[in-house]
Structure 1
Amino acid sequence: MEKTAFDTYLETAGTMIIEYAPKVAAALVILLVGFRIINRLVRLAVRSMAAHRMGSDLAPFLGSVIGIGLKIMLLFTVAGVLGIDVASFVAVLAAAGFAVGLALQGSLSNFAAGIIIVLFRPYRVGDWIQVPGEFFGQVEEVQIFNTVLATPGKKTLIVPNSEVISGVVTNYSRKGHIRLELTVLMGYAESFPRIKAIILESLRGIDLILQDPPPQVGIESYDSHNLIIAVRPFVRPDDFWLATFAVNEAIKAALSANQVKMAYSEGVELGDIGN
């Protein structure tokens, strides 16, 4: 009985299944087990680096790089099990990588910027920073392509690393303290030394205010109806907003308790400050 084309195709398919099924099954097992092992190895590496005080920003970054490298090696291993010519596979992968690299120039620049950030450490996890674009927040994580910031309003900012290093980065945490930039209005009829003493005394009663460096109080400028008094106490970066509110509240209460008069914007008459 003559074989039909269908029988020929069926026989060929059966032969291929018998020949390649074990290879495909082995490749799948290696792939699945390999990914699990790599993930565990990366977690162990991150913990080991953290235990050796490499920094909470450097360890996750290096862990991601190690994970990517091991996964690429795993893919080469799987290709060899399937009988694919690794040399040809590498050539094809290089060509594809070149094409992808051209299409993803921005991502590659972010990756390079991430390496620069990790090596030179202009900031670390936990630092309060301001980066180009007026993005301000506390560093939560330095990733391969992005830096994750948490704003004081608990919003999450994901800033590309290339944008971070493209301009000036202001690190408010590097020195361990930051200066509040506050102003108070004082009527011309009032005595500045007296007002200065009242303000400094009110600042001493606030635990969030650092006494070293000491707070600074001085005349900043002259307005049409008031003197502009600069109040410059130093606080820890994490206490910035709490200290700002506390200082404003304490100064208001101190001026009221000492019956300091102020010129209001509606006119030039002096009025009392309420409680």
Structure 2
Amino acid sequence: MMVQVALIVLLIVAYAIVSRLLKSSIALLGQRKSVNEVRITYVSRMLNLGFTAVFVLLVCLVLGIGYGQLAIFFSSVFAVVGVALFAQWSILSNITASLIIFFGFPYRVGDWVKVVDKDDEILGQIIEISTFHVIIQRLSGDVVTYPNNLILQKPVVRFTNRDAAQAMSQFSPKDS
């Protein structure tokens, strides 16, 4: 019994330390990449949620709850969540894409980009990267809300400035 209590205390201390390190690392990475503070908080919460699930799983194992009981519980939870998200799979894929964009997207707010899309020219300046969308303001002033999961699937060209982007436009530039 004392061993279990000691392990649980050790897990709690480790959880607190790793949770703070995770939060500060994400904040530091977000500041280095000039990411909006709201996105930093969102990513931090999402990763902390996953870390908390692992912590709860470890505590259950230390308390002696069997693998079979945990497997039944977690498979039931995942089944309910899976059914709920199946109808809205694009929401889940956009959330996942948002995490990928946070850690590995080579473009930032303020960059001039062109999303290579055969149906439409999406060329402009990134004005925001949110949880579900990358918001691009076109040269004409129109605003395009482009889903995160699609921007990861399409080639994106980055330009050094507005003039370089305007030179690549397939449409005649309007007076600025």
With the length of structure 2 as denominator, give the TM-score of the two structures.
0.53
Q: Structure 2: which 5+ residue stretches go unaligned?
A: 1-22, 57-69
Mapped partners of 2:166, 2:128: distance in 1: 26
Q: Which has the larger radius of gyration?
A: 1
| CA shift in 2, pair 1:154/1:144, >3 Å | same
The answer on 1:103 being equivalent to 2:87 is: yes
Does the Cα contact within 8 Å between 2:112 and 2:165 map onto a contact in 1? no
Residue in structure 1 matched with residue 144 of structure 2 by the alignment:
157
Does the Cα contact within 8 Å between 1:49 and 1:59 map onto a contact in 2? no
Residue by residue over 1:222-246, the C-alpha shift from the partner in whole angstroms, topping out at 9 and shown as x without a partner, is xxxxxxxxxxxxxxxxxx97xx76x
Mapped partners of 1:68, 1:115: distance in 2: 9
| CA shift in 2, pair 1:156/1:96, >3 Å | same
Does the Cα contact within 8 Å between 1:57 and 1:141 map onto a contact in 2? no
Instruction: Count matched residues.
Output: 132
Find 1:146's aligned residue among 133, 141, 155: 133
Any idea what SS the aligned residue of 1:66 has?
Answer: helix
Residue in structure 2 matched with residue 57 of structure 1 by the alignment:
35
The answer on 1:67 being equivalent to 2:53 is: no
Does the Cα contact within 8 Å between 2:113 and 2:165 map onto a contact in 1? no
Find 2:123's aligned residue among 124, 136, 156: 136
Does the Cα contact within 8 Å between 2:114 and 2:157 map onto a contact in 1? yes
Mapped partners of 2:42, 2:49: distance in 1: 11
Which structure's relative contact order is higher, taking Cα pairs within 8 Å and 6+ residues apart?
2
Any idea what SS the aligned residue of 2:155 has?
Answer: coil
Q: 1:79-90 to 2 correspondence within 5 Å?
A: none
Find 2:155's aligned residue among 161, 164, 168: 168
Residue by residue over 1:2-45, the C-alpha shift from the partner in whole angstroms, topping out at 9 and shown as x without a partner, is xxxxxxxxxxxxxxxxxxxxxxxxxxxxxxxxxxxxxxxxxx97
C-alpha RMSD of matched pairs (Å): 4.1
Query: Which one-letter code corresponds to 1:171 in the other structure?
Result: R
Mapped partners of 1:166, 1:108: distance in 2: 15
Deviation at 1:89, TM superposition (A): 7.0
Q: Which structure has the highest helix share of the two?
A: 2
Q: Structure 1: which 5+ residue stretches go unaligned?
A: 1-43, 78-86, 183-239, 246-275
Deviation at 1:93, TM superposition (A): 2.9
Mapped partners of 1:149, 1:180: distance in 2: 14
Find 1:94's aligned residue among 61, 78, 94: 78
With the length of structure 1 as denominator, give the TM-score of the two structures.
0.37
